[in-house]
Amino acid sequence: MFDRRLFEYFDWGLFVLTVLICSLGLGVLYSAVTAGDVPGMDMIFKKQIIWMGGGMIFMISSFLIHYKFIDKASLIIYVVCVALLAAVLVFGKHVAGSTRWLALGPFTVQPSELMKLSLIIVLASVFSTCVTEEGLGFHGLIKPGALLAIPFLFILKQPDLGTALLLLFIAASMTLFVNVQKKVFFSCAALAAAATPLVWMILKDYQKARIMTFLNPDRDPLGAGYHIIQSKIAIGSGMIFGKGYLQGTQNALSFLPEQHTDFILSVLAEEWGFVGCCALLMLYFFFLLWGFNIAYGCRDMFGSILAFGITIMIFWQIFINIGMVMGLMPVVGVPLPLISYGGSSVITNMAGIGLLMNVSMRRFLSG
Amino acid sequence: MSEYVKPPGREWLKKRLMGGTICVSVAFSILLARFVYLQVIKGEVYRHLSANNCIRLQSIPAPRGLIYDRNGTILVDNRPSFDLKIILKDADPVEETLLRLSQLMQVPLQELQEHIDNRGMQSKLNPLLLKRNISRDQLAVVKAHAFDLPGVIIDVEPRRNYIHEKCAAHVLGYLGEVNGEEIRKSKYPDVRSGDAIGRDGVEKEFETVLHGKRGGRQVEVDATGRLVRVLNTVDPVPGQNIFLTIDLELQQAAESLLEGVSGAVVAMDPATGDVLCMASSPAYNQNDFIGGISHKKWQALQQDPGRPMTNKALQGEYPPASTYKIVTAIAGLEEGAVNIHTSRFCSGRHKYGNRIYRCWKKWGHGDVDIIGSLEQSCDVYFYNVGQDVGVDTLAQYARGCGLGKPTGIELLKERSGLIPTAAWKRKRFGVSWQGGETLSIAIGQGFNLVTPLQMAVLIAAVGNEGTLYRPRILKSVQGSPGESPVEQIPEITGGIPAGKETLRIVREGLLRVVHGKRGTARSVKIDGVTMAGKTGTAQVFSMKKKDRDRSKDDPLDYLLRDHAWFVCYAPAENPVIAVSVIIEHGEHGATAAAPVASHVVKTWLERSGYFENQEKQ
């Protein structure tokens, strides 16, 4: 089933962009864990290299199978992921007040991460059959709405507000991409506005506290408020050219919370300054444009919507994470794609990029 | 799909993706603008702030809730402790500062260095503890040389103080530093490493009430670590104060009565289940645990044969001996095996199968009825009752009286005792129940085990005409200082499975134990008050006949001596106190345990003004 031409059309541009971002990420992570002067942290760097290696394998395995098969299997993949989510609630490992991890032998997996990809696949599959130039009506939204609601509620229950919102944003973006009729759009907006107080009621206390803290950081000067202040000091003190690699003082004194995971950008910003941040933004921007281009290049609706969905998933992570560390958004715990430390995040994003390549490589092949 | 859907064309796709690109561009512009704002426009300001690392977080510990007795007399409070700490970042060069510090304070350098070597994951900006609770002299020296000691700070932290050393140690418990495991499992919210948490007794049981919530402040400091200004403060929330049901004076009286012996005293209010005192001897000194107990002291406590770390009132399980005859009497009367007129002849021995079961009185009690047999604690009478009722029915009544299961007091590690049944024995030992064993059970020997607290609950229930209360130790909780404390409500757990007439007969028998002509505890009468009770002498080992004969002349080895029991309530008509006493190896209930109980009763009646009221009437 492999076509030799497949390799001729290998998407080198996307591959190089991915490798560049990963290398930058490893460089920053190295600084974050070594200068952090915290014993046992060197393991983190080694583990991240292993995760990235593992991510590559996922990337390759997800572009070898023709995406048409993925289209056909989309519902099965979705059901399996939802089952895993349900299993987490029953057998899950308890980490820091919420249950997100599932132990499978020696590995712990975070099904909520896998859920992102499987939701994109299943939505792409559903939308590809009903998309029209006029946009979707109310009828067309029932199925996607249900597909989103099930994992969304499960993840909210874990509780993992960040990932749940990410799912919502991804689904909303994909829906807007395939377009909805004007009356549908305005009704949904009105409905969302009306539902906000209801959502507020089901949030856990600490989630409410985070949102309140975002709106008014002075509310929690010892927790999130302090993190954001320190993160802002780290970023701002980088000025234009930064303090130099491994020279970040905020980082070196363990001032920053979770400097190797969610707050890793502040390490980069402190050491590389505005120039480094611009470079990272540029790399990400090119990456996203590349992804949109793949969506445009694809000859069938499923491939286009899938490529768009994955690109927009990566976009939302970037936007939420950077906005968070710069004090533009609540601290919700979304990692920076390919830069933050964390196995599940690396593997999900790499597998997503594999799917992008999958679509990209087959753009000139029929059937 | 029924209707034909026209798939959109390339132009449409281009338009949609263009929209996506515009959205992404706008979002990235926002991020870029923020970078410009933070790094270019405000960069100078932030660089300055980071150069001194001058925004710091200081934590303010929450004072732990105070513990009072039932009258509001303070039992446990907090005293300021001056802790010597160092901020490594400011103490440059560290070695020199430490050396100077060790000379000034006359503390070996190595001792200070150790804390720095063991700091682990701590940031250089977090104050690191060098020495807890330094003396006033050391404090003065450090303060005087503050300028030569950069980075050295003195923190004033509240420190737990048990005002009456050793008093109610087992009830109050003690504190210990929280361990990594507990922090990981986030068993207690708002607890961090270095915090002390309750390790036993009330301190542990009501940890979440007593702990409070830590506060903190964000401060700006200058390059040498001195405070420039406070940016933000979150006040700590002090722990809530609690009032126990214990009466300090009664507690101290009970403890002084147990001085030098091993045993326990529990006194309860029969009308509420309030534990008025709970003493276990020997005790330990809770203040030894503050700031970490020394290894030597811990070893000594662990190896002490008197088991000072055990609260014998609820963790000590003993054969109930003759105090159990209360249960056997209830079972016999309720089951119709005997009634008030049934009398039996006691010749000092009772033949069952081909074995002889003896009464404690060698020559026998002659003809006795149920009341007389309780008064004189006649074994033969109860052998007969036990034989008629059977082990399983007896066990049913014992459980109904609250034995064989925890009383549910709000203290940890309570033991449930043991009430054997035939099924239990088969399961436990794989052999069937022997009829003769029922006779032993009927007089509280054999497999039977009870705790002094269980017996206190039972005797209190006999006193209040049948109501079993959950013994409670927490009287009220004070939400915040100045607020009136919220009273806890007494809780009834059941009733003695006996009718009015049965209880009347048993109560009459118990009254005669103290006031009857032949009562086993007639020597402990208190002038001006009626008291009802029951003695018990629990065999530690069942001795063969020839051993017993031989030991008549030898003084028994201490560990082979019998345990002495006494349970009672007073005044007999309308009791205000019920007491249960066990003296380990005290030999005779009447001589070792009964005087202790009698003294406790007397102390309480004096304290509550009972005798004065009597005189007025």
A99-121 pLDDT tens trace: 565 655 445 567 888 899 999 99
- How far is residue B66 CA from its own chain's centroid? 16
Is the minimum CB–CB distance between B120 and chain A shorter than 8 Å? yes
CB contact under 8 A, B121 and A39: yes
Among A29-43, A169-183, B438-452, B506-520, where is mean pLDDT lowest? A29-43
pLDDT band at B233 (very low <50, low <70, confident <90, very high): confident
Any idea of the CA torsion for B23, B25, B26, B27, to the nearest 10 degrees? 90
Higher pLDDT, B564 or B223: B564
pLDDT of residue B543: 46
Tokens of B24: 């992404």
Per-residue buried b or exposed e for B532-552, using 16+ beta carbons within 10 Å of the residue's own CB: bbbbbbbbeeeeeeeeeeeee
- Going by C-alpha positions, the residue among B400, B398, B399, B395 that lies closest to residue B497 is B400
Q: Is the pLDDT of residue B526 over 80?
A: yes
CB contact under 8 A, B234 and A222: yes
Summarize pLDDT for A229-258 with one digit per residue, the tens: 788 888 888 888 888 777 766 654 445 555
Q: Is the pLDDT of residue B3 over 50?
A: no
Tokens of A332: 């919700």
Q: Do B250 and B600 meet the contact criterion of CB atoms below 8 Å apart?
A: yes
Tell me, what amino acid is at B260? G
Q: Is the pLDDT of residue B579 over 70?
A: yes
Q: Do B207 and B197 meet the contact criterion of CB atoms below 8 Å apart?
A: yes
- Going by C-alpha positions, the residue among A83, A327, A157 that lies closest to residue B31 is A327
* Count of CB atoms situated within 10 Å of the CB of B523: 12
- How far is residue B396 CA from its own chain's centroid? 29
pLDDT of residue B315: 93
* Count of CB atoms situated within 10 Å of the CB of A304: 27
Sequence-distant (6+) residues with CB within 8 A of B187 are none
Sequence-distant (6+) residues with CB within 8 A of A339 are A21, A24, A25, A28, A29, A264, A265, A268, A280
Nearest chain A residue to B51, by CA: A249
* Count of CB atoms situated within 10 Å of the CB of A5: 11
CB contact under 8 A, B124 and A269: no
pLDDT band at B139 (very low <50, low <70, confident <90, very high): confident
> How many Cβ pairs closer than 8 A exist between chain A and B?
157
Average pLDDT over residues A205-232: 70
* Most confident region among B32-41, B42-51, B556-565 by mean pLDDT: B32-41
- Going by C-alpha positions, the residue among B334, B362, B335 that lies closest to residue B348 is B362
Could you give the percent of chain A with pLDDT greater than 70? Answer: 82
Q: Do B327 and B397 meet the contact criterion of CB atoms below 8 Å apart?
A: yes
Mean pLDDT of chain A: 83
CB contact under 8 A, A234 and B24: no
Mean pLDDT of chain B: 86
Q: Do A24 and A320 meet the contact criterion of CB atoms below 8 Å apart?
A: no
- Closest approach of chain A CAs to the CA of B21, in angstroms? 7
pLDDT of residue A106: 45
Average pLDDT over residues A144-168: 87
- How far is residue B419 CA from its own chain's centroid? 24
Q: Do B450 and B405 meet the contact criterion of CB atoms below 8 Å apart?
A: no
pLDDT of residue A105: 45
Q: How far, in Å, CA of A123 to CA of A131, rounded?
A: 11
Could you give the percent of chain B with pLDDT greater than 90? Answer: 46
Tell me the pairing of strands B241-244 and B67-68: parallel
pLDDT band at A15 (very low <50, low <70, confident <90, very high): very high
Q: How far, in Å, CA of B224 to CA of B153, rounded?
A: 12
Q: Is the pLDDT of residue A180 over 90?
A: no
Which 58-97 residues of chain A touch chain B by CB within 8 A? Answer: 96-97
Q: Do A65 and A58 meet the contact criterion of CB atoms below 8 Å apart?
A: no
Q: Write the DSSP symbol of residue B470.
A: P
Per-residue buried b or exposed e for B114-124, using 16+ beta carbons within 10 Å of the residue's own CB: ebbeeeeebbb
pLDDT of residue A136: 85
Q: Chain A partners of B125 at a C-beta cutoff of 8 Å?
A: 253-255
Q: Is the pLDDT of residue B127 over 80?
A: no
- Closest approach of chain A CAs to the CA of B95, in angstroms? 19
CB contact under 8 A, B5 and A129: yes
Is the minimum CB–CB distance between A283 and chain B shorter than 8 Å? no
* Count of CB atoms situated within 10 Å of the CB of A363: 16
Q: Do B223 and B193 meet the contact criterion of CB atoms below 8 Å apart?
A: no
